[in-house]
């Protein structure tokens, strides 16, 4: 009888890794992403000439004001579409003066919220954001052309397309789709967004900053179009002394919540986007950069930056010009829409699973130290949709999870023959549709 019950539960709750086909509803959603939509957004945003934060806010066809008004109209339009559940918003605020913004200006974050349907989780949300401003070589040059096709009209196009294809979904938790202001002037829009969410009592389960997601051409004619990079802090910015001590006991410095999110996007997204690799970089950001995801990390929330596999430095932060037949500048001619669509599908599918998944397990701990068999234990959330759990482990010298095993509802499992010292572990909850929560690493050790 017991064997039968276990078998039935496994049948109902197979995790993605064990399924021959990932859920068709998620596959269908990925299929709705259209390269043509991405191209249209990038070409339109580039057509404003410059979107520098200090450019003309009032001109009809050029500058940040015209771009902002067009983008606000786009979010309103997708919220009005038949069947859409999106609520468009525009959050205006004042910023400056500071070294990167020498005078006081009005800024605006633009976006749409897809409300969650689980009343007990009304304060939980996912966030995908991309800055919509641009810059030329000089960070304070507000008049030169700065079309910003890849940096970062591509990211905004991804955010708009995600909102478009997910507009009618009914996730457990909310999803914010946001085009942020002044990314090039110190991430002022993300600071505002994170601060507002915190003040409103929203718990951000996951944040993804899409920044430069459209270049595949490298100088010399080589292509980098078979993957994307995920940058994430290995450890959260906020860590108590007690958490630090446990982390040192466990040796889990490569398994903070943001790194878990990066692995989640890789694991889920790669099921749906064939031949495309998400590279989980063991690095918090591009060298010398402070991306918008780090603003959310500062608030204690899991956050990653998604970016193209390789940047082209003839494009980024270069004035538009040519030298002996070589073109410089970030113009739409170099935007690869098919590639950007693949990154968009990676995020649509991983967000779809995460926003529908039950809450993660709590009080996760590791036991079995000094024995050949590791033991994990945890507390399940009080959510009727939990049908099982998924245990993950990998050798401690590996980046990505190597083993995933599904179990029926339980609050501890022994992993026979896998010791605590050579492997790293995590556990997630699972529902009947194959939606998994973010995996949680052990935060205590039992001897
Ligand atoms: Zn950027």
Question: What pLDDT, in 10s, does the model give residues 213-261?
Answer: 999 999 888 999 999 999 999 999 999 999 999 999 999 999 999 999 9
Q: Say whether pLDDT at 4 is over 60.
A: no
Distance 49 CA to ligand 1 centre (A): 17
Q: What angle do CA 38, 43, 214 make, to 5 degrees?
A: 50
Using the predicted structure, report yes or no on whether residue 5 has a pLDDT greater than 50: no
Are the CB atoms for 292 and 187 separated by under 8 Å?
A: yes
| Over residues 108-129, mean pLDDT | 98
- Which tens digit of pLDDT belongs to each residue from 270-299? 999 999 999 999 999 999 999 999 999 999
| Bridge partners of residue 174, in order along the sequence | 125
Tell me how crowded residue 250 is: count the other CB atoms within 10 A of its CB.
20
Average pLDDT of 112-124? 98
pLDDT reported for residue 11: 37
pLDDT at position 9 over 90 = no
192 and 128 Cβ atoms separated by less than 8 Å = no
89 CA to middle of ligand 1, Å?
22
Query: Whole-prediction pTM value?
Result: 0.95
pLDDT of residue 16: 53
Which band of pLDDT confidence, cut at 50, 70 and 90, is reported for residue 126?
A: very high
Task: Tell me how many degrees the CA angle 219-224-225 measures, rounded to the nearest 5.
Answer: 140
Distance 177 CA to ligand 1 centre (A): 17
Q: Is residue 84 a contact partner of residue 168, using CB atoms and an 8 Å limit?
A: yes
Residue with tokens 């994990």: 376
How far, in Å, CA of 141 to CA of 18, rounded?
A: 53
Name the DSSP class of 299.
T
Q: 18-75: per-residue pLDDT in tens?
A: 444 578 999 999 999 999 999 999 999 999 999 999 999 999 999 999 999 999 999 9
Q: 63 CA to middle of ligand 1, Å?
A: 17
* Residue whose C-alpha is closest to residue 307's, from 443, 211, 409, 401: 211
Question: Residues 425, 392: contact at Cβ < 8 Å?
Answer: yes
pLDDT of residue 18: 46
Tens of pLDDT, residues 393-409: 999 999 999 999 999 99
Average pLDDT score, the chain: 94
Expressed in angstroms and rounded, the spacing between residue 116 Cα and the centre of ligand 1 is 29
- Specify the pLDDT at position 21: 59
The rounded Å distance from CA 148 to ligand 1 centre is: 9
pLDDT, tens digit, 9 for 90 and up, residues 174-189: 999 999 999 999 999 9
């Amino acid at each position: 009888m017991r064997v039968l019950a276990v078998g039935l539960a496994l049948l109902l709750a197979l995790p993605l890794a064990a399924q021959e086909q990932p859920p068709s509803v998620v596959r269908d959603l990925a299929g709705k992403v259209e390269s043509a939509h991405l191209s249209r957004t990038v070409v339109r945003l580039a057509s404003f000439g410059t979107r520098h934060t200090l450019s003309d806010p009032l001109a009809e066809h050029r500058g940040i004001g015209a771009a902002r008004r067009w983008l606000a109209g786009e979010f309103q339009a997708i919220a009005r579409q038949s069947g859409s559940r999106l609520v468009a918003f525009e959050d205006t605020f004042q910023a400056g003066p500071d070294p990167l913004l020498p005078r006081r200006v009005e800024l605006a974050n633009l976006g749409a919220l897809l409300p969650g349907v689980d009343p007990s989780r009304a304060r939980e949300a996912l966030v995908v954001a991309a800055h919509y401003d641009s810059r030329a070589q000089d960070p304070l040059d507000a008049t030169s052309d700065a079309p910003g096709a890849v940096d970062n009209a591509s990211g905004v196009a991804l955010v708009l397309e995600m909102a478009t294809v997910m507009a009618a979904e009914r996730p457990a938790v909310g999803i914010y789709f946001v085009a942020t202001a002044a990314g090039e002037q110190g991430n002022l829009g993300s600071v505002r967004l994170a601060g507002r969410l915190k003040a409103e009592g929203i718990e951000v389960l996951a944040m993804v900053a899409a920044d430069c997601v459209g270049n595949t051409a490298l100088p010399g004619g080589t292509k980098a179009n078979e993957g994307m990079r995920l940058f994430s802090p290995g450890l959260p910015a906020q860590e108590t002394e007690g958490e630090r001590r446990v982390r040192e006991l466990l040796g889990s410095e490569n398994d903070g919540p943001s790194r878990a999110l990066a692995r989640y996007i890789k694991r889920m997204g790669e099921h749906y986007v064939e031949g495309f690799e998400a590279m989980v970089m063991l690095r918090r950001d591009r060298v010398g950069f402070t991306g918008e995801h780090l603003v959310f990390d500062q608030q204690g929330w899991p956050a990653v930056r998604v970016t193209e596999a390789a940047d082209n430095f003839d494009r980024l932060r270069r004035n538009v010009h040519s030298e002996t037949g070589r073109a410089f500048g970030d113009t739409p001619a170099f935007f690869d829409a098919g590639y950007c669509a693949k990154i968009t599908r990676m995020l649509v599918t991983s967000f779809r699973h995460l926003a529908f998944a039950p809450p993660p397990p709590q009080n996760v701990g590791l036991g079995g130290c000094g024995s050949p068999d590791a033991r994990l234990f945890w507390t399940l959330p009080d959510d009727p949709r939990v049908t099982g759990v998924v245990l993950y482990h990998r050798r401690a010298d590996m980046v990505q999870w190597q083993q995933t095993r599904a179990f029926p509802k339980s609050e501890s499992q022994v992993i026979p023959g896998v010791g605590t010292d050579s492997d790293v572990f995590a556990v997630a909850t699972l529902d009947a549709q194959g939606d998994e929560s973010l995996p949680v690493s052990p935060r205590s050790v039992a001897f």
